[in-house]
Structure 1
Amino acid sequence: MKKLFLFTFLLSFGAVSAQKHANGKIFDKHPALDIVDEFTKAYTSGDTTTLKALTTEGFKMYNMMNNDPDYTGGTRRNLMGQAIWLSNNMVNLKIENRPPAYPDAMEFKDGPVYVYTYEMMTGFDKNNGFKINTPRNSTFIFDESGKKINRLLFSDNTAHFQKYSDSRETKTNGTIYKDHPVIAKVRLAFAYLETGDLDKAFEGYNEDARIYDINDPDQSFISLAAHKEKLAAFMDMYEIVYIQESGYPDVLDYEGDGKVIISWWDFMLRHKKTGKEVKFKSHNQHWLDDEGVIWREDAYYNAALMQE
C-alpha cells in the first residue's frame, strides 16, 4: 500500500512539473521600456512628431473596455489627434507608474515584444476644472524589429471619462420647484420644533431616518432617536423664541434620485439660566423617498454661537 501511495505521489508530481514550459523572458529593464516611456511623454505633451516616429504606419489602438461588436479601434492619426487635444485642454496631465507596480517587457520565443504598464492618469481640464484621476493599464505590442509600437491596448475607468464627457455639455438633472406640496413636511417640522413638540416635529420622518449635523465632531450620521434625545437635552437649556423662514425653500426633484428640500431659517434662542439671547442662521437639506417621507436631514449652522 505504501509503495502504491509513493508511486501515485511521484506520478502526480511529475504531471504537475511537466506542465511548466518557458515561452520567453520578462525584463524590468529593456529598450522597449524606454520606447514606451518616450511614447507616454510624447502623448501627454502633444508631441506628434515623436509619436509618429515611435509607431508603425499601420498602428492601431484599442480600448479594452469597449464591448461594441463593430468597434474597430483607432489609428495613428486618431492617436495624434488625441494627444493634441489633451495637450491643448489639460493641465498637469501625467501618466505615471502606479506604485508599487512597474512596467514589464516580455520577449516571447515566437512573437513580438510586449510591454505591460500599470499607471495612473491625472490632470485637470483647464476649461471647466474637471479632474482626471483614474488607473490606466496598457499593453504595447511592438513590430518585428522591436523598435516601433504596432498595437496599443489600454483600459481605464470608462464611467469616469463618461462623466468627464458629460461635464463639457449642458444637461438637465431634474426640476426645481419654488412651491410644492412636500415643502409642508419641512415647514411643519420647524413649526412644531418652535413649540417644543418633538414628536409632532418629526412625524414626517422615517423612523430609520439619518441625521447629519455639521457641528458633530465625528462628522457622521446619527439615528432619529439619538437626534431627538440631543434636541430634548438642548431644549432643557434653551427656549426657542422663534424660528423664521428665510427666503423660501426649494424642492430639487432629481431625475431618478428622489427629491431634496433645501431651506434657510433664522433662529432666536434664549438661555434659560442666563437669559442670554442667541441668533443664528441654519441651512437644512431634507431628503425624501419615493413615498415623500423624509429619510435624511443635513443641518448646517454655527454651534459656536451657543457656547456659554
Structure 2
Amino acid sequence: MKKLIFISLMVCSFAASAQTAIEKNGTIYKKHPYITIVESLERMMAKMDTIGMVKYYADTAYAFGTGAPETKGIASIKAGWRYIANEWEIVSITPNGYPDALEYTNDPFTVQSWWVVKVVNKKTKKQATFFEVIFHSFNKDGKISSEMSFHDSTPLLEAMK
C-alpha cells in the first residue's frame, strides 16, 4: 500500500511540474534598431517615398496580406507600391500602440506593428480609415525578408464605390 501511495504521489508530482514548466521562445524588445527601421518605413510610405523604402528590403523579399496576392522580389513589391500610389492618396499613417521586436529562438527576427491608415480613393474621392497590423521579418543582413499585413478591407471597398 505504501508503494502505491508513493507511486501515486510521484505521478501527481511529475504531472504538476510538467504543467508549470516554462520554455522561452525568444525575447521581446520595445526599443530596437529594427523598430526604428519599421517606423521610418511607415513615414516614407505615408509620403510614397519608394526610393527611400526600397533600401530596407532584400532583393528576394516577399509580401502578402489582406486582399493582395503574394508578391515575390523587390520588383513585385515596388509594383504594389505603384498600384497604391495610382489608386489612393495617403492622408496619414499613425501608430496605434507600440511596435514589438521579436527575437525568436528558431525563426526570423520580426517586428510587429499596429497602424491607423487614412486614405482617399483618387477616383471616387471617398475616404477610408482602417486599422492594420504588419509583421516585418528581417534576414541576417538586417534587410526585410518578408512583410505580412492584415486589415479589414471593408472601408477600402466602400471608398471604391
Q: Which amino acid in the other structure matches residue 251 of structure 1?
A: A
Q: Which amino acid in the other structure matches residue 257 of structure 1?
A: D
Equivalent residue number for residue 10 of structure 1: none
Equivalent residue number for residue 142 of structure 2: 292
Superimposed CA distance per residue, residues 5-46 of structure 1 (whole angstroms, 9 cap, x where no aligned partner): xxxxxxxxxxxxxxxxxxxxxxxxxxxxxxxxxxxxxxxxxx
Alignment TM-score, normalising by the size of structure 2? 0.79
Q: Which amino acid in the other structure matches residue 270 of structure 1?
A: V
Q: SS of the residue aligned with 2:83?
A: helix
Superimposed CA distance per residue, residues 42-95 of structure 1 (whole angstroms, 9 cap, x where no aligned partner): xxxxxxxxxxxxxxxxxxxxxxxxxxxxxxxxxxxxxxx9xxx9xxx9xxxxxx
Alignment TM-score, normalising by the size of structure 1? 0.43
Whether the aligned pair in 2 keeps the contact of 1:191 and 1:201 (CA below 8 Å) is no
Of 234, 239, 246, which aligns to 2:96? 246
Superimposed CA distance per residue, residues 153-182 of structure 1 (whole angstroms, 9 cap, x where no aligned partner): xxxxxxxxxxxxx88731011110011122
Q: Which amino acid in the other structure matches residue 298 of structure 1?
A: M
Q: Post-superposition shift, 1:274?
A: 2.4
User: Aligned partners of 2:93 and 2:55: how far apart in 1?
Assistant: 18
Of 66, 72, 79, which aligns to 1:222? 72
Task: Tell me whether 1:275 sits opposite 2:130 in the alignment.
Answer: no
Gaps of 5+ in 2: 1-6
Q: SS of the residue aligned with 2:149?
A: strand
Equivalent residue number for residue 41 of structure 2: 189
Correspondence list, 1:42-57, <5 A: none
Whether the aligned pair in 1 keeps the contact of 2:71 and 2:77 (CA below 8 Å) is no
Q: CA separation of 1:252/1:192 partners in 2, compared to 1, >3 Å: closer, same or farther?
A: same
Q: SS of the residue aligned with 1:170?
A: coil
Q: SS of the residue aligned with 1:306?
A: helix
Q: CA separation of 1:289/1:235 partners in 2, compared to 1, >3 Å: closer, same or farther?
A: same
Q: Post-superposition shift, 1:227?
A: 2.4
Higher relative contact order (CA 8 A, sep 6+): 2
Gaps of 5+ in 1: 1-80, 90-165
Task: Tell me whether 1:213 sits opposite 2:54 in the alignment.
Answer: no
User: Aligned partners of 2:86 and 2:49: how far apart in 1?
Assistant: 13
Correspondence list, 1:154-169, <5 A: 169=21
Count of paired positions? 144
Correspondence list, 1:1-308, <5 A: 169-216=21-68, 220-307=70-157, 308=160
Runs of 4+ in 1 over 6 A off after TM superposition: none
Q: Post-superposition shift, 1:290?
A: 2.0
User: Aligned partners of 2:19 and 2:89: how far apart in 1?
Assistant: 47
Whether the aligned pair in 2 keeps the contact of 1:238 and 1:269 (CA below 8 Å) is yes
Whether the aligned pair in 2 keeps the contact of 1:189 and 1:202 (CA below 8 Å) is no
User: Aligned partners of 1:258 and 1:170: how far apart in 2?
Assistant: 22
Superimposed CA distance per residue, residues 89-121 of structure 1 (whole angstroms, 9 cap, x where no aligned partner): 9xxxxxxxxxxxxxxxxxxxxxxxxxxxxxxxx
Q: CA separation of 1:233/1:167 partners in 2, compared to 1, >3 Å: closer, same or farther?
A: farther
RMSD: 2.3
* Larger Rg over CA atoms: 1
